[in-house]
Structure 1
Amino acid sequence: MILARNHQPPLSGNRRFIYLIIALVAAACSPKLQPVATQPVKKETEKSVVKTPPLKEVKPEAPKVSAIALLLPFGLDHLRQGAAYTAVSLREADIALDYYRGFKLALDSLTGLGYNFKLKVFDSKGEVAQAHSLGSNPAVRSSDLIIGPVFPDDMKAFTGAYANAKQPIVSPLSPAAPATFKNANLITVMPPLEYHAWTAARYISSKIKPKKVFILKSGYSDENDYITPFKKAIDSLGKKHIQVVALTVIHGQLSSLIPQLSVSDQNVFIVPATNQHFLTITLRALDSLSSSYPVTVFGHPSWINFSFLKADLLQRLNTIISTSDHIDYKAANMVTFARNYRDEYHIEPSAYAIKGFDEGMYFGQLAATDKLKNIPDNNFTGLHNDFQFQKKTGLGFINTHVNLYKYINFELKKVE
């Protein structure tokens, strides 16, 4: 999940691939349109009295070409003589290049099915000023579909300069709340945090049905982005029959909760924290409780990427984690994609390449079939997540699909 630049997960970027950017961008357009073979219309056979005038040859309509603008932070300025990529800009360029490769491979696949595209690639540079400038670029404005910019600040600057546009604008990788941008044409692909909270609440109210739910807080205000919608959801879905007990945990002290715990039913704990020190101590305390009380823990979606959280501990705690981008690398369709990607680019696909491919297949086909205005009617099963969009007044379209995973035999298995 990309909330801000300083929260990007480590990338396995290889600088030598950055120098492929210029060549790749130059080849951005999908394969050239194939001419449609036509045959002349034969004249009607002459009759004895009435002669039919010869029919004029009708030229077939030109195939529809969908123009797509791709705004990614390649940072090509860093390739100039005397310039150099920083660690941050190199990670951003890796994201851009991997996403571009996946997206382009998707359009190539659709072109093989008879669709036609004009892919226009722009360097957003990962800079607010550049994103704002692209908002007034005629080549961008004339596109049927706009993908990017990637980062929330850049998207805010871009939509601020593009407020009256009718073209749909896709936020491809950031789960930032759409209210941040307030653009009715925005399409948010990565479900915002509130939909993770609603998914957890729905599972708890329908499957576990506890009498109480305990929220363990670290004290950081950003946890309210999860806690507030969770409380609203559990009250709505549980019809206020499920009591919510919130506790700010200090040094792993959970003793005050013991009188409220059940020895027979599952004790459900919501832990929306992402701080390593807090999680290490608090989960250890919960592990101690689990020896005497049934425990089920629901964690923040970021947990799925935290290497310091060990599978054996999370399994003992019956941990369930919501995610919108877990990839099953053993699935048949994923194996096929990885093979095609290696054949094309001679490198393993990253998570960003996989997301680029999914979004290229989905939005490319919608653009080619004039269905971009009917997104909620067109669901999609991708390699990293499903797309199930809802239209929200003033906020555009939001993908609400979130999966729940649980550790079984020390591996994450889907439970919903």
Structure 2
Amino acid sequence: MITKNSLFSLLALFLISFASCDALKPAVNPNQDDRRVEDRRNGNDDDLDPIQSRRVYDPETGTYIYVQNAPTDRMDTIEWTTTPESQMPPIVEDEQSTYVPPNNVDNIITRPATQIGSGNNGSRKLSSYNVEVSLPFLTDRYYGSEDKVSENSLWSLHFYSGARMALDEMRSSGGLNGNFNVHVSDTYGTSARTQTLTNDAYVSSAQMIIGPYVKDNVSLMAEAVRNRETVLVSPYSAGTGVSAQNPNYVQVNPTLNTHLRNILEHAMTKQNADRIILVSSGSSADQQSLKTLQEDYKMLANNAAAEPLEEIVVDINANPDLTFDEYLTGRKTVFIVPVYRDESFVANFLRRLYTDTREDFGRNVAVYGLPQWMNFTRINFDYYEGTNVHVSSSVFVDKLDPAVRDFRRAFYDRFATIPRDEAYVGYDVTRYFLGMLAKSGTRFQYDLPMNPETLLHTKFKFEPVVEAGADGMAVEGGPIDRFENKHVNILRFRDYTFRRVN
């Protein structure tokens, strides 16, 4: 059973912090509403139900409700009268007492929890579990006078909304198999606030913590749960070196090295290419990525003495007449370009390659890049299409998937806005990890590798990351640094959109 101080306590948090009921209204962009109206006029609103005039916002519940007997006639004009202060004096502070908010946390952490079973690696199955969700809602930056929620808060709001939907579904379907006390906190996006939360009584009592957002704050939380019966699930940070030798740390977002290895593996197994060439701009970051790819190539080839892959450093500014004709002989050539900071470099490289392969329209070439390429704005999409571009991504939401469409419709019906990618992540993370905690107990992370699952935004395929030795190779049986999701979506740009191909 979910207690009163559950995930819905965030609504109380907003009331305290925002000082305005408007803050509880769904984050709806007026421009989006205009577009929806235009879509309905054009008959293009097939995906979502039209907004009816009987659907109104209820400020007490923070939701939209349907009025069965809505008035259709012209409404009368309201006439206001002012009551004299002698009859209704204003409420003022008497300066005789100080308001002290109730300490609801103590009521939660004193809830008795008994061990009802055991699992692998000393895991305990309990009669109830405490779960902490720490996200940067940034309520300290909202003063009630703003007409919209800060863009920087939307990630957490959508993640939380998706998590709420998952928790409600699991509760109603009986999928929790136990009692969960879910508490939500605002990290304010600062290290100081996050450090304070690590010492909070409820956070200290939690068997699982979901969050925070940035790497530094994740590191603080990861160190706080070290050697405790608490697992930290980080849904966003993809950084390495967050917390060494800490098996209580679970990283949902794959690291850059994991992206590179998945890219190389896909190129080797799916492209049937004669040559794989690593391309860089010559920067130190690019060179480190090329080194990682060379090490991964030896591991994937299962040959430590394998000849390294070809590498080229491209400087189009110094060589404006550069061509790639010499690399395009044979059946197919794959270029892996692990560059994500320099959009100009990627644009120039693809432009030159597109020119050299235009007659074949990419039939004998493929290019692999990183997730940031999908957000580049100065690259002609013809270059993506004509050079057969592939990118890696930790999130891919297939709008044609029936399950995705059902979630999208349910989210819109509940929150009156279209879900962002973070909503799918929040939904998937909540369903998967609360299910694992209920199934395997307090040390559920050791059972993650045996429980892969396909979800709305990606697949979960967790593996323990073992500390590397002096030669950079993992030491068999060595200390576990973390558990990391090793699945990466490979997307191909085709027909002017990205589609998953793995």
Give the TM-score of the pair, scaled to structure 2. 0.66
Asked if residue 412 in structure 1 is aligned to residue 475 in structure 2, the reply is: no
**Counterpart among 465, 478, 482 of residue 392 in structure 1:** 465
The DSSP-based 3-state class of the residue aligned with 2:150 is helix
- Is the contact between residue 304 and residue 323 of structure 1 (CA under 8 Å) also seen in structure 2? no
Contact 2:130 2:181 in 1 (8 A): yes
Alignment partner of 1:265 out of 331, 341, 353:
331
Q: SS at the partner of 2:398?
A: coil
Gap change, CA 1:165 and 1:208, over 3 Å in 2:
same
Aligned to 2:476: none
- 2:283: which partner in 1? 220
Structural RMSD (CA):
3.1
- Show structure 1 runs of 5+ residues with no match: 1-14, 30-62
2:196 corresponds to which residue?
A: 133
Q: Rate the CA distance shift 1:227–1:307 in 2: closer, same or farther, 3 A.
A: same
Of residues 173, 176, 180, the one that matches 1:113 is: 173
How far off its partner does 1:81 sit?
7.1
Provide Cα deviations, 1:4-24, integer angstroms capped at 9, x if missing partner. Answer: xxxxxxxxxxx9975459988
Q: 1:220 to 1:189 in 2, by over 3 A?
A: same
Note the C-alpha offset of 1:64. 3.7
Shift of the alpha carbon at 1:259? 7.0
- In structure 2, the residue matched to 1:94 is 154
Query: Residues 9-408 of structure 1: matches in 2 within 5 Å?
Result: 18-19=23-24, 64-80=127-143, 90-114=150-174, 115=176, 116-177=179-240, 179-182=241-244, 183-224=246-287, 226-238=289-301, 239=303, 240-241=306-307, 243-251=309-317, 253=319, 258=324, 260-274=326-340, 275-291=342-358, 294-370=364-440, 372-373=444-445, 374-393=447-466, 394-408=480-494
**Structure 1 residue 214, shift from structure 2 partner:** 2.2
Structure 1 distance, partners of 2:235, 2:456, is 15
Distance verdict in 2 for CA 1:18–1:326, change over 3 Å: farther
My pick for the range that moved more, 251-260 or 388-397, is: 251-260
Distance 1:311 1:257, change over 3 A: closer
- The amino acid across from 2:498 in the alignment is L
CA contact (8 A) 1:75 1:124 kept: yes
In the TM superposition, what is the alpha-carbon distance from 1:352 to its structure 2 partner?
0.7
Instruction: Tell me how far 1:209 sits from its aligned partner.
Output: 4.8
Separation in 2 of the partners of 1:204 and 1:242?
A: 15
Over 3 Å counting, the alpha-carbon distance change for 1:195 and 1:16 in structure 2 is farther
Separation in 2, partners of 1:78, 1:415: 42
Q: Which residue of 2 aligns with 1:46?
A: none
CA distance in 2, matches of 1:154, 1:90: 20
Paired with 1:102 and 1:398, the residues of 2 have a C-alpha distance of: 22
Opposite residue 157 of structure 1, the aligned amino acid is L
Residues 296-339 of structure 1, C-alpha deviation per residue, up to 9 Å, x if partnerless?
11111221233433433211101111112011112100000011
Cα gap change, 1:282 to 1:16, in 2 (>3 Å):
farther
8 Å CA contact retained: 1:218, 1:250: no
Aligned 8 A contact 1:69 1:145 in 2: yes
More moved, 357-366 vs 305-314? 305-314
Distance 1:16 1:310 in 2: 45
SS at match of 2:440: coil
Change (3 A) 1:395 1:224: farther
Specify the SS of the correspondent of 1:100.
helix
Partner of 2:173, secondary structure, is coil
Give unpaired runs (5+ residues) of structure 2. 1-19, 27-59, 63-103, 106-125, 467-479
Cα pair distance change 1:113/1:19, threshold 3 Å: closer
Distance 1:276 1:381 in 2: 32
Hey, what's the Cα distance between the residues in 1 that align with 2:295 and 2:250?
24
The secondary structure found in structure 2 opposite 1:112 is helix
SS of 2:282's partner is coil
Return the alpha-carbon distance in structure 2 between the equivalents of residues 361 and 111 of structure 1: 11
Does the residue aligned with 2:396 lie in a helix, a strand or coil?
Answer: coil
SS of residue paired to 2:130: strand
* TM-score, length basis structure 1: 0.79
Question: Residue 99 of structure 2 aligns with which residue?
Answer: none
Name the CA shift for 1:401/1:18 in 2 (closer, same or farther; >3 Å). farther
Segment of structure 1 superposing worse, 255-264 or 369-378: 255-264
- Which amino acid in structure 2 is aligned with residue 200 of structure 1? I
Q: Does the CA-based 8 Å contact 1:215-1:271 persist in structure 2?
A: yes
Asked whether the 8 Å contact 1:144–1:167 carries over to 2, the reply is yes
